[in-house]
């Protein structure tokens, strides 16, 4: 059997199948009902259904032969000014056959287009509105020039809430005969944070190991340390056990193969969950920022992370002294 990406396999085929984004779906359904679509900007984080919504809209509007009426240009395509003048213009100027008098051109990652290309696109959108409607998908709509933004209906996509995220992954696991444990589900959300595409791909990668999917499996797959291990290391350091904390750090680096900068980010996240005075959280975050800067500048990972733990030990002494006073 050929290998199939679950993210594509379980991509919704119509607007009715879309997960969450209810307000957006209702607006798009009204376009289908009216058989008329304005130029649109779909903006929001990755993995929230922007491209899927555009394809579902086209499928509901044109039927099963919708591919004949749309063109997709994505991040792997050249999208400079020449492509806009030639490929895009050629597609946009030809009126389609059928009940719907316009075609749809989907520009994925439109915020990465050059300024010149966007200016050329602006003119194309003006001239060929009758025969072509544009859907621009972007992570950051602010990177799209104002003249284009003013011609488009904006749609703001958001990360999926936890309940929708979990329900969809459980449905996939059940269909694929995969055992997904609760802590594995928690770990996927911790790592992916609502990015549904990344969550599904992470689930598939973990399922390829052929065993029940738990938190440990997920963190090994994505190359991140278990937050419980990170938290334990911080607590050990604050308790004044520097050598033991350093051993835990080295074990994590070897077991998970995590980059030093990733460990620093995880430490940063865990600090806010710890039961220490807020003033010390502020000081520790300041220390973490300094270490992160040093790593970005090319300093040795092990030396800097050991220095970070040493600062935590010092902070632990100060916290205890303050508590006794």
Chain segment 106-136, per-residue pLDDT in tens: 998 888 888 888 888 888 888 999 999 999 9
Per-residue pLDDT, 247: 92
Residue 33 has pLDDT above 80, yes or no: yes
User: Is residue 23 a part of any domain in this protein?
Assistant: yes
Per-residue pLDDT, 220: 84
Flag the least confident range among 23-27, 71-75, 90-94.
71-75
Q: Across residues 46-64, what is the average pLDDT?
A: 92
Domain final residue pick, 195, 222, 249? 222
In this structure, are 98 and 197 located in the same domain? no
> Which residues are within 8 A (CB) of 322 and not within 5 positions of it... i.e. 6 or more apart?
277
Residue 269 has pLDDT above 50, yes or no: yes
CATH number, domain containing residue 166: 1.10.8.60
In this structure, are 119 and 60 located in the same domain? yes
What would the pLDDT profile of 190-215 be if each residue is shown by its tens digit?
A: 888 888 999 999 999 999 888 899 99
- Which domain range does residue 70 map to? 6-156
Q: What angle do CA 24, 52, 196 make, to 5 degrees?
A: 90
CATH number, domain containing residue 13: 3.40.50.300
In this structure, are 307 and 208 located in the same domain? no
Number of domains in the chain: 3
SS3 68: helix
> Which residues are within 8 A (CB) of 279 and not within 5 positions of it... i.e. 6 or more apart?
none
User: Is residue 1 a part of any domain in this protein?
Assistant: no
**Residue 80 structure tokens:** 């400079």
* DSSP assignment letter at 87: I
In this structure, are 214 and 243 located in the same domain? no
Per-residue pLDDT, 2: 45
Distance of CA 116 to the CA centre of its chain: 28
Element (H, E) at 265: helix 260-271
Domain final residue pick, 156, 176, 202? 156
Residue 1 has pLDDT above 70, yes or no: no
Q: Are 184 and 215 in contact (CB under 8 A)?
A: yes
Per-residue pLDDT, 76: 54
Q: Helices then strands (H, E): number in the chain?
A: 16, 5
SS3 145: coil
What would the pLDDT profile of 34-53 be if each residue is shown by its tens digit?
A: 999 999 999 999 989 999 99
User: Beta-carbon neighbour count of residue 20 at 10 Å?
Assistant: 20
In this structure, are 203 and 285 located in the same domain? no
Question: Is the pTM for the entire model greater than 0.85?
Answer: no
User: Is residue 295 a part of any domain in this protein?
Assistant: yes
**Beta strand segments in the chain, E:** 40-43, 70-73, 103-107, 132-138, 153-156
With cut-offs at 50, 70 and 90, classify the pLDDT of residue 32: very high
Domain final residue pick, 109, 134, 156? 156
Distance between CA atoms of residues 233 and 26, nearest Å:
48
Element (H, E) at 91: helix 89-93
In this structure, are 13 and 99 located in the same domain? yes
Residue 310 has pLDDT above 90, yes or no: yes
**Whose CA is closest to 233, among 299, 304, 314, 306?**
306
What would the pLDDT profile of 230-258 be if each residue is shown by its tens digit?
A: 999 999 999 999 999 999 998 888 777 78
Q: Are 203 and 181 in contact (CB under 8 A)?
A: no
With cut-offs at 50, 70 and 90, classify the pLDDT of residue 79: low
SS3 73: strand
Place of tokens 């430490």: 267
The whole-chain average pLDDT of the chain stands at 88
Burial class (CB in 10 A: 0-12, 13-18, 19+), 40: buried
In this structure, are 215 and 134 located in the same domain? no
Q: Across residues 172-199, what is the average pLDDT?
A: 91
% of the chain residues with pLDDT over 70: 97
User: Is residue 248 a part of any domain in this protein?
Assistant: yes
In this structure, are 151 and 167 located in the same domain? no
User: Is residue 82 a part of any domain in this protein?
Assistant: yes
In this structure, are 50 and 179 located in the same domain? no
User: Is residue 278 a part of any domain in this protein?
Assistant: yes
**Whose CA is closest to 123, among 105, 100, 106, 148?**
148
The torsion angles phi and psi of 146, rounded to 5 degrees, stand at -55, -40
In this structure, are 32 and 110 located in the same domain? yes
With cut-offs at 50, 70 and 90, classify the pLDDT of residue 325: low
Per-residue pLDDT, 262: 86
In this structure, are 143 and 242 located in the same domain? no
Residue 188 has pLDDT above 80, yes or no: yes
Residue 185 has pLDDT above 90, yes or no: yes
User: Is residue 55 a part of any domain in this protein?
Assistant: yes
User: Is residue 308 a part of any domain in this protein?
Assistant: yes
CA dihedral 161, 163, 164, 169 (to 10 degrees): 120
Residue 3 has pLDDT above 80, yes or no: no
In this structure, are 277 and 311 located in the same domain? yes
Q: Across residues 8-16, what is the average pLDDT?
A: 90
């Amino acid at each position: 059997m050929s290998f199939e990406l679950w993210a594509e396999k379980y991509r919704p085929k119509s607007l009715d199948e879309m997960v969450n984004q209810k307000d957006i779906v209702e607006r798009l359904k009204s376009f289908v009902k009216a058989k008329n679509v304005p130029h649109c900007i779909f903006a929001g984080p990755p993995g929230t259904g922007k491209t899927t919504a555009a394809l579902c809209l086209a499928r509901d509007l044109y039927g099963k032969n919708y591919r004949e009426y749309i063109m997709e240009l994505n991040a792997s395509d050249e999208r400079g000014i020449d492509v806009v003048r030639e490929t895009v213009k050629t597609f946009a100027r030809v009126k389609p056959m059928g009940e719907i008098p316009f075609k749809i051109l989907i520009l994925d990652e439109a915020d990465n287009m050059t300024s010149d290309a966007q200016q050329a696109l602006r003119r194309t959108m003006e001239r060929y509105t009758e025969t072509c409607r544009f859907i621009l998908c972007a992570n950051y709509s602010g990177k799209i020039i104002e003249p284009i933004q003013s011609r488009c209906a904006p749609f703001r996509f958001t990360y999926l809430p936890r309940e929708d995220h979990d329900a969809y992954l459980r449905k996939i696991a059940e269909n694929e005969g995969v055992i997904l444990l609760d802590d594995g589900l928690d770990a996927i959300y911790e790592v992916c944070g609502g990015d549904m595409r990344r969550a599904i791909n992470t689930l598939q990668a973990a399922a390829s190991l052929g065993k029940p999917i738990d938190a440990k499996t997920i963190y090994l797959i994505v190359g991140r340390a278990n937050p419980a291990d990170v938290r334990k290391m911080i607590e050990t350091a604050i308790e004044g056990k520097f050598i033991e904390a350093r051993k835990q750090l080295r074990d994590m680096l070897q077991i998970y193969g995590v980059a030093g900068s990733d460990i620093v980010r995880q430490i940063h996240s865990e600090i806010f969950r710890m039961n220490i005075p807020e003033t010390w959280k502020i000081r520790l975050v300041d220390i973490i920022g300094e270490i992160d800067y040093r790593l970005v500048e090319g300093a040795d990972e092990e030396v800097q992370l050991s220095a970070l733990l040493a600062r935590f030990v010092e902070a632990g002494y100060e916290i205890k002294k303050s508590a006794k006073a």
